[in-house]
A = this chain, B = another copy of it.
Amino acid sequence: MAPTLGEIADRLSARLTGGDPGTPVSGVAPFDRAGPGEITCAASAKLLARVSGSRAEAVIVGPGAGPSAVPLLVVGNPLLTFARAIALFHRPPAPEPGISPHAVVGQGFVHGEDLFVAPGVVIGKGVRVGDRVTLLPNVVLGDGVVLGDDVTIHPQACVLWGCTLGSRVVIHAGAVIGADGFGFAGEAGKLHKIPQTGVVTLGDDVEIGANNTIDRATFGATAIGNGVKTDNLVHVAHNVTVGDDTVLIAQCGISGGTVIGKNCVLAGQAGVAGHLTIGDFVMVGPQSGVGKDLAAGQVVTGSPVMPHRIWLRVQRLVEKLPELARTLRNLEKRVKNLEGGDGQHP
């Protein structure tokens, strides 16, 4: 039975204006594709201006939206509400709880309710996991790993010995949690391994992207705070600390021992050198290189980074360097003329 518009409004704590609460809703769709029976969202000013042209059954909007011929679902945070609306209709494949006979489970495994272990999963010794844990095909958990409740680990990811994950953590496919940190001692041109004795700890509500590499600490822990989200192919070196709710976009990398604050955003392909301290709410632009400490709240871009507002002007000038150089050479000649020109004045 499709839910009605009124029921949806209730579920989303939205105020419905202008629609028939009894209309059945079949799903959600992006703004440009939503049609009859579907609800969509206008979270940006750009889309808000186009609401009256929408063919959707209703549009989720913020409190500031004007009246519209199209029914509105008015809420405080349209994008978040849209996320919840999608979740009402989206049913990704959900396996039945149980441990596959094709999985291998080590001694001393302790688990909560509603565990799912897929074929090909290999669980080491002394692993403890909470309720509603889902381990998808070919996942590997090393000895002594601890997972909280509601953890999902996607195919072919691994969490190596001693690492611990909080609750509501998602690890995407192919991610490696707890490989050795990259530590070596040099002697006469040869490198000798420094044993990496520490672990990785992930807080609650962490989501780690596909094919990430989060290395274990030399001592202690590489510590990823609560609510941290990483995109794909992100590298976090040994002994890094990442503060709560920080976001690491695809292909960025953080070198060993660096401390990143809370609520930071590192854009795609950015890099941070080792043993630095980055404050809270710092934003680092794409492909930027951070080689020094950054105080809280800074917005920086460039390789190496500079304040973003300066970078905006710099990058326009870089393209004009040939012109600037030409002007400079021309000016040099004219000054030489002026200098040499003294003799011509009577």
Residues of B within 8 Å of A303, CB to CB, are 287, 303
Within 8 A of B (CB), among A179-220: 179-180, 182-187, 189-195, 197, 205, 207, 209-211, 213, 215, 218-220
Residues of B within 8 Å of A313, CB to CB, are 321-322
Q: Distance (Å) between the CB of A262 and the closest chain B CB? A: 8
Quick check: A289 and B289 within 8 Å, CB to CB? no
Chain A 62-91 interface 0/1 with B at a Cβ cutoff of 8 Å (1 = within): 000000000000000101101100110110
Interface of A is mostly: loop
Residues of B within 8 Å of A140, CB to CB, are 120, 136-138, 155-156, 173
| Interface-lining segment among A5-13, A17-25, A107-115, A246-254 | A246-254
A100 at the interface (CB under 8 A from B): yes
Within 8 A of B (CB), among A113-168: 118-120, 122, 124-125, 136-138, 140, 142-144, 154-156, 158, 160-161
Quick check: A185 and B237 within 8 Å, CB to CB? no
A50 at the interface (CB under 8 A from B): no
Known contacts A83-B185, A137-B140, A211-B211: does B253 contact A250 (CB below 8 Å)? yes
Q: In the complex, what distance in Å separates the CA atom of A90 from the CA atom of B162?
A: 13
A269 at the interface (CB under 8 A from B): yes
Residues of B within 8 Å of A250, CB to CB, are 182, 213, 235, 237, 253, 255
Residues of B within 8 Å of A195, CB to CB, are 83, 86-87, 90, 92
Within 8 A of B (CB), among A213-264: 213, 215, 218-220, 227, 229, 231-233, 235, 237, 245, 247, 249-251, 253, 255, 263
Quick check: B93 and A120 within 8 Å, CB to CB? no
Residues of B within 8 Å of A229, CB to CB, are 182, 184, 191
- Of the candidates B30, B190, B194, B227, the one whose C-beta lies within 8 Å of that of A191 is B227
Q: In the complex, what distance in Å separates the CA atom of A342 from the CA atom of B341?
A: 10
Known contacts A158-B174, A235-B232, A345-B342: does B209 contact A211 (CB below 8 Å)? no
Quick check: A219 and B327 within 8 Å, CB to CB? no
Quick check: A176 and B179 within 8 Å, CB to CB? no
Residues of B within 8 Å of A93, CB to CB, are 124-125, 142-144, 161
Known contacts A29-B219, A161-B92, A328-B327: does B156 contact A138 (CB below 8 Å)? yes
Quick check: A176 and B172 within 8 Å, CB to CB? yes
Residues of B within 8 Å of A104, CB to CB, are 100, 102, 119-120, 137
Residues of B within 8 Å of A342, CB to CB, are 341, 345
A-B residue pairs in contact (CB < 8 Å), sample of 25: A77-B185, A77-B187, A100-B104, A102-B122, A122-B155, A137-B158, A140-B173, A155-B158, A156-B156, A173-B179, A179-B232, A182-B209, A182-B232, A189-B245, A193-B207, A211-B233, A231-B237, A235-B251, A250-B255, A255-B268, A286-B291, A306-B318, A314-B318, A335-B335, A338-B338
Closest 6 CB pairs of A and B: A122-B137, A213-B232, A179-B210, A104-B119, A80-B185, A79-B185
